[in-house]
Amino acid sequence: MQSLYYGSNLKNLLITISYDGRHFHGWQIQQNALTVQEVFQNSLSKIIGSDFDVKGCSRTDSGVHANMYCISLKIAHPIMPERLKAALNRWLPKSVAVLDCVEVPLDFHARYSCVSKEYIYKIWNNEVRNPFLDGYALHYRYKIDENLLNNAAQSYVGYHDFSSFCTLDRREKGDMRRNVMSFSVKRDGDLVTMKVEADGFLYNMVRIMVGTLLRVQQGKINPDDISTIIEKKDRSFAGPTAQACGLYLNRVNYNL
Amino acid sequence: MQSLYYGSNLKNLLITISYDGRHFHGWQIQQNALTVQEVFQNSLSKIIGSDFDVKGCSRTDSGVHANMYCISLKIAHPIMPERLKAALNRWLPKSVAVLDCVEVPLDFHARYSCVSKEYIYKIWNNEVRNPFLDGYALHYRYKIDENLLNNAAQSYVGYHDFSSFCTLDRREKGDMRRNVMSFSVKRDGDLVTMKVEADGFLYNMVRIMVGTLLRVQQGKINPDDISTIIEKKDRSFAGPTAQACGLYLNRVNYNL
């Protein structure tokens, strides 16, 4: 955004998108791999040129989906938000959709203004795979007891140091404490959905929480031991990182 | 099935599958295009060799999906149905799943023993596309009045000559009369689902029925004129053939 001048024309837009993560290596631009940010910025530049500043609400991993992902966009271009929404939907690939585009205060930031996020994790729980959920849900063949896991998951809720639930080699250096507001496990037929809301998430945190619950299902971790695993602050005590394909960023909450 | 002998070992299996039609040019084997029958027979031959006779319950078009598709399979091989199901699920691509495999009388035929079939047609009814339904539902931007269309669709119900609802160049030469038992149009949020059950369907019949209802939605065909269009027995009076991607074979009914 080298030439973007902070004059009276500058505006800040909150853009809400949805995307099919199978097509992307996550949000953040990287060399040699297609990302959502890259296709978003490419489409944007066709419409308003190269003079913009884009901030995403979070990194997401390769293969992770978003029912709702938020972007803040600073532009000096006079385009109306509704027209920008329509134009982006014309330029973007079918795997990405702009759901909303509204003006917000200039100090709004998609990442730092966020007060909480909600993720869901989908599991197809049937002996036989579902051809329509390949890449869209984890396939787990053995019967899941959703009540057992829902009860066990309540140990996640609260303000804890989640070091045990963060991938080691990418462990953030700062504060590892996060406030998990809720965690639920529900069944709808053969589809088991886990839903978690927190004020923030460490790297791979949801996927390790899910992997740990599946270890509980397998009887390899006692439901009561989740609190102990949290207390250990050691990744090696938690379960494996569940596949990316079942994970969806579902909601991003702001005080606006 | 040249060497298949009709001795005491011969058995007939009813195999129920589900498949994601985006990956296939329909069921029936053809040159230079991948079909479900081809991958099914290839997987089958890895398990029991080449000595089998496969019959599908219907042709399906390229891009059409199946929540339930039925196959009758005559084999002399001693494999148990449950083992064959498991083995097929191991060999088949992820876009196809075997849901069931049971022994049936020798005179059972997946196509000719069928008493009725049910198709559903999915429409994503929102100004903005749904990235997760690309190839899985028709995207229709303008608000659909599901009650208007449900009422109009009741004219389809009954025993009629459906020549007006059959693609001309592939029009079957035989009896064009079919008994439509029910046709419903329902909304669940932004997803509109049409469901039709009949004793049989002409080529493209459901897709033309859907296309005609969308013309009713657009005010280009009067809801009361559907009966007249049926009476005309002329394809040119009905609406266009709706896209294949929204169509799912949903149920196949037999008297067993």
A1 is a domain residue: no
Mean pLDDT of the region B112-140: 98
Interface test with A, best of B65, B94, B96 (most A CBs within 10 A): B94
Tens digit of each residue's pLDDT (9 = 90 or more) over B48-93:
999 999 999 998 899 999 999 999 999 999 999 999 999 999 999 9
Same domain, A125 and A47: no
B3 is a domain residue: no
Same domain, B81 and B152: no
Q: Give the predicted TM-score (pTM) of the model.
A: 0.93
Last residue of a domain, one of B45, B78, B104: B104
ipTM of the complex: 0.92
B17 is a domain residue: yes
A52: CATH: 3.30.70.580
List, by residue number, the catalytic residues of B: 61
Residue A99 is predicted with a pLDDT of 98
B228: CATH: 3.30.70.660
Residue A169 is predicted with a pLDDT of 67
Taking CA A69 as the corner, what is the angle to CA A233 and CA A120, rounded to the nearest 5 degrees?
50
A109 is a domain residue: no
Lowest average pLDDT, out of B28-42, B94-108, B146-160, B162-176, goes to B162-176
Same domain, B96 and B124: no
- Which residues of B fall within a CB distance of 8 Å from A134? 20, 94-95
Same domain, A98 and A142: no
Same domain, A151 and A236: yes
A239 is a domain residue: yes
Same domain, A18 and A74: yes
Parallel/antiparallel/unpaired status of strands B138-139 and B65-75? unpaired
Same domain, B157 and B35: no
Q: How many residues does chain A have?
A: 256
Last residue of a domain, one of A104, A133, A158: A104
Catalytic residue, candidates A20, A51, A61, A100: A61
A3 is a domain residue: no
B111 is a domain residue: no
Q: CA-CA distances (angstroms) from residue B241 to B128, B184, B205, B209?
A: 23, 18, 8, 8
Neighbours of A175 (CB within 10 A): 9
Residue B169 vs residue B135, higher pLDDT: B135
A167 Cβ partners below 8 Å, 6+ apart? A203, A204, A208, A235, A241
Q: Which residue of A has its CA nearest to B17?
A: A131
Burial of B219 from C-beta contacts in 10 A (0-12 / 13-18 / 19+) = exposed
Cβ atoms of A150 and A184 within 8 Å: the answer is yes
Cα–Cα distance for residue pair A90/A84, rounded to 1 Å: 10
Last residue of a domain, one of B104, B126, B150: B104
Name the minimum distance, in Å, from the CA of A94 to any CA of chain B.
6
Name the minimum distance, in Å, from the CA of B18 to any CA of chain A.
7
Cα–Cα distance for residue pair B77/B51, rounded to 1 Å: 8
Tens digit of each residue's pLDDT (9 = 90 or more) over A199-219:
999 999 999 999 999 999 999
Average pLDDT of chain A, as a whole number: 95
- Which residues of A fall within a CB distance of 8 Å from B99? 128
CB pairs under 8 A between A and B: 46
DSSP-derived secondary structure letter, B216: H
A200 is a domain residue: yes
Q: Which residue of A has its CA nearest to B87?
A: A128
Same domain, A159 and A229: yes
3-state secondary structure chain A: CCCCCCCCCCEEEEEEEEECHHHCCCCCCECCECCHHHHHHHHHHHHHCCCEEEEECCCCCCCCEEEEEEEEEEECCCCCHHHHHHHHHHHCCCCEEEEEEEEECCCCCCCCCEEEEEEEEEEECCCCCCHHHCCCCEECCCCCCHHHHHHHHHHHCEEEECHHHCCHHHCCCCCCEEEEEEEEEEEECCEEEEEEEECCCCCCHHHHHHHHHHHHHCCCCCHHHHHHHHHHCCHHHCCCCCCHHHEEEEEEEECC
Full domain range(s) for residue A145: 116-254
Same domain, A135 and A91: no
Same domain, A100 and A204: no
Q: Among B18, B128, B132, whose Cβ lies nearest the Cβ of A131?
A: B18
Mean pLDDT of the region B18-25: 96
pLDDT score of B3 more than 90? no
- Which residues of B fall within a CB distance of 8 Å from A136? 132
Single-letter code of the amino acid located at B19 = Y
- Which residues of B fall within a CB distance of 8 Å from A65? 132
Cα–Cα distance for residue pair B102/B72, rounded to 1 Å: 10
Same domain, B164 and B69: no
| Cβ separation A132–B98 shorter than 8 A | no
pLDDT band at A5; cut points 50, 70, 90: low
Q: CA-CA distances (angstroms) from residue A23 to A53, A133, A244, B250?
A: 24, 15, 13, 28
Parallel/antiparallel/unpaired status of strands B65-75 and B247-254? parallel
Name the minimum distance, in Å, from the CA of A40 to any CA of chain B.
14
Same domain, B86 and B143: no
| Cβ separation B131–A94 shorter than 8 A | yes
Cα–Cα distance for residue pair A100/A82, rounded to 1 Å: 8
Q: How many domains does chain B have?
A: 2
Lowest average pLDDT, out of B57-61, B178-182, B240-244, goes to B57-61
pLDDT band at B170; cut points 50, 70, 90: low
Name the minimum distance, in Å, from the CA of B30 to any CA of chain A.
22
